[in-house]
Amino acid sequence: MSIPFGVRIPFVDHLGFTLERFEDGRSELHYEARPEHLNSFAVTHGGATMTLMDVAMATAARSVQ
């Protein structure tokens, strides 16, 4: 079984991110927030949003070896 992000990241697994593009210094992740990922205003929790940004930037950087 391949590990799309290069390593297993339990929190990313929990959030359900999928890696759609990983090349030439770019990455594309897809994410659909589930009810347990929402804050008290019923919008995606900032921690989930910032994790998406963090993982997208890290995978983009790792796409150029």
pLDDT in tens, 21-54: 999 999 999 999 999 999 999 999 999 999 999 9
DSSP H helical ranges for the chain: 10-15, 46-62
Taking CA atoms, 40 is separated from 17, 19, 37, 49, 50, in Å, by: 22, 28, 10, 15, 17
| Model pLDDT for residues 8-21, shown as the tens digit of each residue | 889 999 999 999 99
pTM of the predicted protein model? 0.86
Using CA atoms, how far apart are residues 22 and 51, in angstroms rounded to an integer?
Answer: 17
pLDDT confidence of residue 49: 97
Model confidence at 65: pLDDT above 80: no
